[in-house]
């Protein structure tokens, strides 16, 4: 698991704090005073998280201690990697661990995000068929941690698995999450089929918007400094622009003088993704105009294309959209006027 040694204070947001809650271990404080100030708010959340953590760890200990029989091999954590869910006795553990991951959402810190990602990836390692839908939770977490390339590679693999390219992906001898360095600038048409995952499609859309907005900012530098700043200084200035790792790691993009063609291509891709998502669930994009009621909803049952499906997806992805400056405003610009019954209201 990833262990962070510092994070923002849970009260004043001061960075690089080392005083950590000893129970949940995912919230930090700059002082004992602020830890005390936050006690009434944090205590019930912390109690729930630690209770759920104990539950899945107790389930794990029981599985590891099992001697093995005709229904379950000894220590399935070592002997049943990839098809863990196929052993009925492991399912309570998997459900308990995913419930724990979901509980961590209530503490919005980098440490919490890292823990969600680490546990989620380990669950997928154990059970490649992902019967609980853990994969749907992770793309937004990766984007919030600025792991954009890892997110895109992850999403592409699962979208290909969804088309049957990796049929039988629960088998440990078949490729699993083996895509590295996928090209975010590629055309997304092949992913736009009727049964793709809204969580995945919205992640790709957000990544493309993030890169589009970054390139626009990058483009402003030479335009503003043209003829007045030496090229070597211009390149240094560019390094201070907060960029997606996908842009920052692409030398061709950084050195390009005219980004018009790439920006037009990205806008075309975003339009395709917008329309593909709208075709799957017509409620999704209009919900960005007034998300609060949907973020607070507690849907019990959902079907494809329903309001309830939109609410479940929105609750998983909205924090990532909120974290990318300009992303929500950008996508709202695509929403037709007849869907704009009200103006955008920030849930915060």
Q: Could you report the per-residue pLDDT of 86-105, keeping only the tens digit for each?
A: 999 999 999 999 999 999 99
Confidence of residue 196 (pLDDT cuts 50, 70, 90): confident
pLDDT > 80? residue 154:
yes
What's the token pair of residue 222? 């030479």
Task: For 188, list phi and psi in degrees, rounded to 5.
Answer: -90, 5
CB proximity list for 137: less than 8 A, separation 6 or greater: 101, 102, 116, 120, 199, 316
Task: Match 């593909």 to its residue by tokens.
Answer: 276
Q: Could you report the per-residue pLDDT of 43-67, keeping only the tens digit for each?
A: 999 999 999 999 999 999 999 999 9
Neighbours of 155 (CB within 10 A): 26
Cα 271 from Cα 252, distance rounded (Å)? 24
Give just the sign of the alpha carbon dihedral 320, 42, 16, 18: negative
Q: What percentage of the chain exceeds 90 in pLDDT?
A: 66
Cα 298 from Cα 287, distance rounded (Å)? 15
Burial of 92 (0-12, 13-18, 19+ CB in 10 A): middle
Q: Could you report the per-residue pLDDT of 204-223, keeping only the tens digit for each?
A: 999 999 999 999 887 766 55
Task: Match 């080392």 to its residue by tokens.
Answer: 18
pLDDT > 90? residue 240:
no
- State the chain's mean pLDDT as an integer: 87
pLDDT value of position 233: 53
Q: Contact 327/203 with Cβ under 8 angstroms? A: no
Q: What percentage of the chain exceeds 70 in pLDDT?
A: 84
82 pairs with which residues across the strands? 127
Mean pLDDT to the nearest integer, 223-244: 58
pTM (predicted TM-score): 0.89
């Amino acid at each position: 698991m990833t262990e962070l040694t510092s994070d923002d204070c849970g009260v004043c947001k001061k960075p690089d704090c080392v005083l950590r809650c000893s129970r949940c271990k995912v919230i930090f404080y700059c002082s004992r005073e602020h830890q005390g100030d936050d006690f009434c708010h944090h205590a019930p959340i912390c109690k729930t998280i630690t209770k759920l953590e104990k539950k899945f760890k107790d389930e794990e200990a029981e599985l590891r201690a099992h001697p093995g029989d005709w229904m379950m091999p000894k220590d399935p954590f070592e002997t049943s990697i990839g098809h863990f869910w196929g052993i009925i006795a492991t399912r309570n553990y998997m459900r308990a661990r995913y419930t724990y991951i979901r509980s961590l959402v209530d503490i919005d810190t980098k440490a919490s995000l890292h823990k969600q990602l680490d546990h989620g990836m380990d669950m997928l390692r154990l059970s490649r068929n992902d019967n609980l839908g853990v994969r749907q939770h992770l793309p937004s977490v990766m984007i919030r941690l600025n792991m954009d390339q890892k997110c895109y590679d992850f999403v592409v693999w699962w979208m290909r698995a969804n088309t049957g390219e990796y049929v039988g992906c629960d088998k440990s001898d078949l490729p699993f999450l083996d895509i590295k360095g996928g090209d975010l600038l590629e055309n997304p048409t092949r992913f736009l089929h009727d049964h793709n995952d809204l969580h995945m499609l919205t992640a790709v859309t957000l990544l493309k918007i993030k890169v589009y907005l970054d390139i626009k900012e990058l483009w402003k530098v030479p335009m503003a400094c043209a003829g007045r700043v030496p090229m070597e200084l211009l390149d240094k200035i560019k390094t201070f622009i907060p960029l997606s790792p996908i842009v920052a790691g692409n030398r061709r993009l950084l050195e390009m003088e005219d980004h018009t063609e790439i920006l037009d291509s990205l806008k075309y891709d975003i339009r395709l993704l917008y329309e593909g998502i709208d075709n799957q669930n017509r409620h999704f994009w209009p919900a960005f105009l007034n998300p609060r009621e949907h973020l607070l909803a507690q849907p019990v049952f959902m079907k494809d294309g329903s309001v309830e499906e939109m609410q479940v997806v929105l609750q998983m992805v909205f924090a990532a959209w909120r974290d990318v400056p300009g992303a929500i405003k950008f996508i709202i610009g695509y929403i037709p006027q007849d869907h704009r019954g009200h103006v955008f209201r920030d849930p915060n």
